[in-house]
Chain A
Amino acid sequence: MLPGIEPLNPLLFLPAQKLTLGCPVLDRLLRGGLPVGSVTEIAGESAAGKTQLCLQLLLAALLPPSRGGLSAASLFIHSEFPFPIRRLHALSSSSSAADPLGHIFVAAAHSPDDLLSLLATADGLLARPPTHLPVRLIVVDSIAALFRSDFDNNPKDLKKRSFLFFKIAAKLKEQARRFGSVVVVTNQVVDVVGSEEGANGQRVGNYASLWSSGRRVCPALGLSWANCVNTRLFLSRKDEVADDAGSSRTRRWMQVVFAPHLPEACCEFVIVREGVSGIELQSRRTMIAGLATSKSLAMTSLDLTSIAL
């Protein structure tokens, strides 16, 4: 037997470790939360709730496993500015952990090479955590912003960009595996124009089309990047005029676009002061009405029992 290579018994990985989203309804959608050792992408338009959810995860990581946490510190790499320190501070006031902000490490990345060098440095942080808690959550918010300016739409640049996707993804997956971490990467969306034949028209995952704010969209960075993540979650929103006083409200949904361990599923949620919170299924009729108007599901293949369960 060569040193270092040994087959493992899959039973060693049961029970599967998950990181709670801080809400039992959303956790049920994801069968416990975000999996350890895996890269989960959260895609959505601006103000869909991606960063909000990430902040919630940073605090959830500090919880003990008995409460769905990892008893761990986090690394938050942001490419969008400024870092929402005030929001994080507000959320942290309700955290039961001692000194939550002292266990969240924040770094800024301005380019793909920045990210790669940060991740290389992170190996040290992961292997020798500066506080008494191991670092077991890595968040990259967002991957799309890193690739906005440097690359044009010609085949050569797209190829170069694609190489970087796989290099970044391989590094993140290696860290997820070696350090038993949860890795979350947020992604933006782009409009889908034209027919199914376009590069962005290729169906990826459980839904023929994804909608947000009345527009048909798809996660940015194309099929290449889609091949780099294990799980893709999509956050959508729709501003609706409420029936009574003519006031508008924002409705939000989280959908499982693809995941090796989850069926197609969708859940409505709200963002309140305490954070992101899933809505328990009150009545199927209301839910379907909301989904039909947001056109966010392929209705004919809907398995109702999987919604918000």
Chain B
Amino acid sequence: MSETSRFRSLEGGHGALKGAQTAWDMLSEEQMQKHITTGCEELDAILGGGIHCKEVTEVGGVPGIGKTQLGIQLAVNVQIPVECGGLGGKAIYIDTEGSFMVERAHQIAEGCISDLLDNTAHRLKDFPACPEILQPNSFLANIFYFRICSYTEQIATINYLEKFLEEQKDVKIIVVDSITFHFRQDFDDLALRTRVLGGMSLKLMRFAKKYSLAVVLLNQVTTKFVEGSFHLTLALGDTWSHACTNRIILYWNGNDRHAYIDKSPSLRSATAPFLITGKGIRNATSHCKRVRMM
């Protein structure tokens, strides 16, 4: 699609500028940029449609705020069939902490499927393959799961993805949960750590652009005592601040979970509330007054 349109304009006399595009081509490419829905409409809205393919998005937050939940939700939502408005793609989930619980992924897949069936019932008659594809176990089977136990395994796995992505063209998202855990131990050579992290992030950015997929890096937070008060910062933030196209921070606002865009080339800073339900990430029902007990 966008690839062929680029070549068409090259054929039209831009041969001297091999690989260059006109600004119009870039604009149309951006407008056709694929997004993966998060499951929460307000969150999708502040993201400009959802998590962007061809970009690296960092998601940070405290333990329990929902980073893994979002990671699993995206690994499921990337699989929403094209007929239902999704990408019909597969997912790579790199689990560095043991947070990926298959039973939860199964629940989230069930929730996604049940919402699809509710919302697109009228279109399903045009979609005969539906019953086989829309099964939680099929969704789970489309997640390529890697469990990492050390930083060397993490480097090796990301290097391995080069070949893997050549063969598995359906992959449309890579989730790394979480990116910095194995780098937060003591490193004798901090310069090495910086080089390794930098190299990893560049590689992932290349994958995003080359294979038109979304890269989502979940990150932990740490507290920094700055100017007399504690601030939350992303772990190993200095090493990463340049490497990600987008950054989302998940945080608590009172008893409600919120997300805000901390960095984006095209989106303005905005916040959105979201819920984690049995079905997964969903809209916060702000119109529903919470029941006051006692």
Contacts and interface: CB of A to CB of B under 8 A. Distances in A.
B141 A260 contact: no
Contact of B156 (A5, A173, A208): A5
Contacts of B229: 197
Contact of B104 (A199, A261, A289, A299): A261
Interface in A257-271: 257-261, 263
Nearest to B229: A197
A163 interface: yes
Contact of A298 (B62, B255, B294): B255
B230 to A, nearest CB: 5
Interface in A150-192: 155, 160, 162-163, 166-167, 170, 173-174, 176-178
B63 A226 contact: yes
Contacts of A206: 64
A239 to B, nearest CB: 21
A28 interface: no
Main secondary structure of the interface of A (DSSP, over half): mixed
Contacts of B276: 263
A177 B145 CA distance: 14
Contacts of A258: 63-64
A24 interface: no
Given A232-B63, A257-B64, A261-B101, A302 B182 contact: no
Contacts of A203: 62, 252
B147 A8 contact: yes
A258 B64 CA distance: 5
A227 to B, nearest CB: 4
A206 B164 CA distance: 38
Interface string B90-108: 0011000111111111100
B106 A14 contact: yes
A105 to B, nearest CB: 23
B198 interface: no
Interface residues of B, number: 58
Interface stretch (A32-40, A59-67, A70-78, A135-143): A32-40
Contacts, number: 155
B167 to A, nearest CB: 9
A223 B223 contact: yes
Instruction: Give the size category of A's interface with B.
Output: 35 or more
B223 A167 contact: no
Contacts of B235: 227
Nearest to A208: B255
A284 B60 CA distance: 37
B106 A198 contact: no
Contacts of B294: 288-289, 292, 299
A10 B156 contact: no
B21 interface: no
Interface in A219-249: 222-224, 226-227, 229-230, 232
Interface string B266-281: 0000000000101000
Given A204-B63, A223-B223, A260 B104 contact: yes
B230 A167 contact: no
Nearest to B187: A163
B30 to A, nearest CB: 31
Contact of B181 (A166, A208, A261): A166
B163 interface: yes
Interface of A: 1-2, 4-5, 7-11, 13-16, 31, 35, 37-39, 155, 160, 162-163, 166-167, 170, 173-174, 176-178, 197-199, 202-206, 208, 222-224, 226-227, 229-230, 232, 257-261, 263, 288-289, 292, 298-302
Given A160-B186, A223-B63, A226-B63, 15 more contacts: A5-B146, A7-B144, A8-B146, A8-B147, A11-B140, A13-B102, A31-B103, A166-B185, A178-B149, A197-B230, A203-B252, A223-B62, A223-B221, A226-B62, A229-B63
7 contacts: A1-B160, A10-B105, A14-B102, A31-B103, A178-B149, A227-B222, A258-B63
Interface of B: 62-64, 68-69, 92-93, 97-106, 137, 140-141, 143-147, 149-150, 153, 156-157, 159-160, 163-164, 181-182, 184-186, 220-223, 225, 229-230, 232, 235, 252, 254-255, 276, 278, 290-294
